[in-house]
Structure 1
Amino acid sequence: MRFPKPEAMRMFSLQTIFGQGKLFYSLLEEAAVAAHDSAAALHAMLKESDRQPALDAFKLARQREREASEKISQALVDSFITPIEREDIEALGSALYKIPKQIEKFADRYALATRHLEHIDFAPRAAMLEQAAAVVVKMVRQLPKMDLGAMKALSDELRSLETEADRLMLELYRDIYSGELEPLQMFLLKEFFEILEKAIDRCRGAGVVAYEIVLKNS
């Protein structure tokens, strides 16, 4: 019986590792892009003059995210070799999954309360959410390079967006307690802006996981 030469075995192992790396990185990027598309759909809806909820766009992005999550889970079952630790892939996949889920929550509730919110401008916060989701896509795309400097710069950018969102929330609370709003408007304003804030926090959470992966492996 002839056994493969050591050089051939090493080449096979490297090809397997690189192949699995491309697969997992591609699936994680797919999930990040779906999350960004969801945020972009929300921003597009909220800056339109009629602001009628186009829920199909959110449902589609959510479905793509769900499919990507299922593919990641299945790939982890099927693969003996992963480019980074399995726990890190699972953690990042889970963090990305939560972003469009939170955005869809806003869209579903907004569809029921549009007539009470026609004078409230959510677009600036939605724009910030879209920016945060775009940074997350960049961070996921940086993973194969394991470039700590580039990842830190993106992490700092994401942190700045989160800080600005927190500042805008303080301004919101001043509006809520100004005494100029009806009780129902106060309640809805607070609820919807907090959902948007939490969506930005979800982006930040995904960014933290991506940054920690590079920190661990660089």
Structure 2
Amino acid sequence: MFSRNKKDQFGALLHDMTTNVKEAADYFSSFSVEKPEDVTIFAQTVNEYESKGDGFVYQMIVQLNDTFITPIEREDLLELTNRIDDVLDGMEKAALSFEICHMTHLNDYISQMTAEICQATENIAEAVDCIFNKQLQKVNDYSKNIKQNESKCDDLYREALLELFRVEEDPIRLIRYQTVYEDLEAIINFCEDVAKTLNSIVMKNA
């Protein structure tokens, strides 16, 4: 299934991609606001991570076009690349919402959801490395962890919305928080899509 040179070539690139996603999620989850302009800096920084991710996607497409034999099916490599990129795109969209909605207060729901997202990206990074180290059973284990992250985030999302519509009387604040919650929920769903793609690759190559 794997030839060493091709494994190193594509595995190294995907490792760099997932490392970038993980670093973006670490930054995202540790973000705190001390002054209003911090939100703008936050959005700009996440955009830089996303732009770096786009560069990796371009490199993957070039490598796929230049390589006759790939370690796993080229369609799977491209699908995995795109699903990982979706996670970064989701972070960029959420960061923009933080800026547009002037989110100067991050409540416990936001903190807990971003923590689950951060853990999911760590699981993604570990799982992708396992693909190219032929540790396919571990890939399934990490995929289960991602699903647990997604499930916890779903619970937080429901609780956050219930609380928001129960106590918030300011319609503008309600819209702001609802938008941010929805964007965070979208990110964790993108993480689950990565897990599904990983599971599909394992089934094909087991």
TM-score clears 0.5: yes
Residue 21 in structure 1 maps to residue 7 in structure 2: yes
Say which of 163, 174, 177 aligns to 2:162. Answer: 174
Shift of 1:57: 2.3
Shift of 1:68: 0.7
Say which of 91, 98, 118 aligns to 2:105. Answer: 118
CA contact (8 A) 1:61 1:100 kept: yes
Residue aligning to 1:31: 17
Q: Give secondary structure in 2 for the equivalent of 1:177.
A: helix
Question: Where do residues 136-151 of structure 1 align in structure 2 (5 Å cutoff)?
Answer: 136-151=124-139
Query: Deviation string for 1:98-154 (max 9, x for gaps)?
Result: 111110111112112225x52634222111111111110011111113323211211
Task: Measure the CA separation in 2 of the matches of 1:196 and 1:119.
Answer: 13
Question: Where do residues 1-218 of structure 1 align in structure 2 (5 Å cutoff)?
Answer: 17-46=3-32, 48-50=33-35, 52-53=38-39, 54-114=42-102, 117-118=104-105, 120-121=107-108, 122-218=110-206
Residue aligning to 1:9: none
| Amino acid of the structure 1 residue aligned with 2:126 | K
Task: Measure the CA separation in 1 of the matches of 2:34 and 2:195.
Answer: 32
Identity %: 20
Shift of 1:163: 0.7
CA contact (8 A) 2:139 2:202 kept: yes
**Structure 1 unmatched runs, 5+:** 1-13
CA contact (8 A) 1:96 1:203 kept: yes
Query: Deviation string for 1:48-72 (max 9, x for gaps)?
Result: 5557222342122112211110000
Q: Give secondary structure in 1 for the equivalent of 2:102.
A: helix
| Amino acid of the structure 1 residue aligned with 2:201 | I
Counterparts in 2 of 1:22 and 1:194: CA distance versus 1, 3 Å: same
Counterparts in 2 of 1:61 and 1:204: CA distance versus 1, 3 Å: same
CA contact (8 A) 1:146 1:214 kept: no
Task: Measure the CA separation in 2 of the matches of 1:179 and 1:21.
Answer: 53
Who wins on radius of gyration, i.e. which is larger? Answer: 1
Counterparts in 2 of 1:146 and 1:214: CA distance versus 1, 3 Å: farther
How many matched pairs?
A: 202
- Give me the TM-score of the superposition, normalised by structure 2: 0.90
Counterparts in 2 of 1:144 and 1:119: CA distance versus 1, 3 Å: closer
CA contact (8 A) 1:17 1:81 kept: no
| Amino acid of the structure 1 residue aligned with 2:205 | N
**Structure 2 unmatched runs, 5+:** none
How large is the Cα RMSD of the aligned pairs? 2.0
| 4+ residue segments displaced more than 6 Å | none
